[in-house]
């Protein structure tokens, strides 16, 4: 229960990686502010279920983080309802795939707003409280695409490279404030975000979803295995621990060897 008494905000935690990280932090005793979209009744069941399973306080705020006010509102709501923001996991993200010359402007704006600008606004809003308390952990979920590119993903790759840069800047600024700032760069994780890409590819290529899963993995990863939200949750817990006190400004790949090539 290394995080008992701490409060963690995990953006985009109604699904996928964010949910896995929120559950892992709750299992260590952290109170949790959930965020993300979805069916109201399903989210309430998730919130109440997590609170009961882990014996921690769990709140939910459905702020749209593609807007600066939404991000500041989420941090403010966590401070008001749970008392502080000790851990911030900037995880919410979306994807859109098209060649640069066909990429719709509004899709560029949407991906940059959520995948990059929300990370900046989140850190900006949470840092003053962390500094005042002399302790904080910021974990930005970037991607293998924060380090290398793939065709068709101009906005996503630009945003994730930006997240890696912003992580390093914040880490330098907070080096003696008791606050660490790190990025996690997952490879393929089988979440709704990736499932949709696989289904789109199967449709486009006239193949099955199972065939596309193997193709997708083997195109990028030497290891033909999906990383899971639970693997990423375990890394996030370590980054929040005392053992990781001097680990800051680091990009942590968990990607089946993707960027080792």
Structure tokens at 254: 């968990």
Rounded CA separation 209/251 (Å): 31
Check the CA dihedral 216-220-223-227 and report its sign: negative
CB of 205 to ligand NAD, least distance (A): 19
Rounded CA separation 78/60 (Å): 9
CB of 142 to ligand NAD, least distance (A): 7
Catalytic residue chosen out of the listed positions 54, 60, 120, 156: 156
Residues near ligand NAD, by CB under 6 A? 12-18, 35-38, 64-66, 91-94, 114-115, 141, 143, 186, 188-189, 191-194
- Choice between 136 and 146, CB closer to ligand NAD: 146
Tell me the H-state helices in 99-153. Answer: 105-112, 118-133
Q: Is 205 helix (H, G, I), strand (E, B) or coil?
A: helix
Q: Do 64 and 73 meet the contact criterion of CB atoms below 8 Å apart?
A: no
Structure tokens at 120: 């900046």
CB of 106 to ligand NAD, least distance (A): 14
- Choice between 81 and 177, CB closer to ligand NAD: 81
CB of 24 to ligand NAD, least distance (A): 14
- 3-state per-residue secondary structure call for 221-233: CCCCCCECHHHHH
The contacts of residue 223 (CB under 8 Å, 6+ apart) are 217, 256, 257
Rounded CA separation 162/120 (Å): 10
Catalytic residue list contains 121: no
- Choice between 107 and 131, CB closer to ligand NAD: 107
CB of 21 to ligand NAD, least distance (A): 9
- Choice between 130 and 141, CB closer to ligand NAD: 141
DSSP bridge pairs for 7:
31
- Choice between 67 and 131, CB closer to ligand NAD: 67
Rounded CA separation 156/162 (Å): 10
Active site residues: 156
């Amino acid at each position: 229960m290394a995080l008992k008494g701490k409060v963690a905000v995990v953006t985009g935690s109604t699904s996928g990686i964010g949910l896995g990280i929120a559950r892992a932090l709750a299992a260590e005793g952290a109170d949790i502010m959930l965020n993300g979209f979805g069916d109201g009744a399903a989210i309430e069941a998730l919130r109440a279920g997590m609170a009961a399973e882990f014996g921690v306080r769990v709140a939910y705020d459905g702020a749209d983080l593609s807007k600066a006010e939404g991000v500041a509102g989420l941090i403010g709501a966590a401070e008001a309802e749970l008392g502080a923001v000790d851990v911030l996991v900037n995880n919410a993200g979306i994807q859109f795939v098209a060649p640069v010359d066909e990429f719709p402007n509004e899709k560029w704006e949407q991906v940059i707003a959520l995948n990059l600008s929300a990370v900046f606004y989140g850190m900006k809003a949470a840092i003053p409280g962390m500094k005042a308390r002399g302790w904080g952990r910021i974990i930005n979920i970037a991607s293998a695409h924060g380090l290398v590119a793939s065709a068709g993903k101009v906005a996503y790759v630009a945003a994730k490279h930006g997240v890696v840069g912003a992580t390093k800047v914040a880490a330098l600024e907070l080096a003696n404030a008791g606050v660490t700032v790190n990025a996690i760069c997952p490879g393929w994780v089988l979440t709704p975000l990736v499932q949709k890409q696989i289904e789109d590819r199967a449709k486009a290529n006239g193949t099955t979803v199972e065939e596309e899963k193997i193709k997708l993995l083997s195109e990028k990863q030497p290891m033909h295995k999906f990383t899971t939200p639970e693997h990423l949750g375990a890394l996030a817990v370590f980054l929040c621990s005392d053992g990781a006190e001097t680990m800051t400004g680091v990009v942590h790949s968990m990607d089946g060897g993707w960027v080792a090539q």
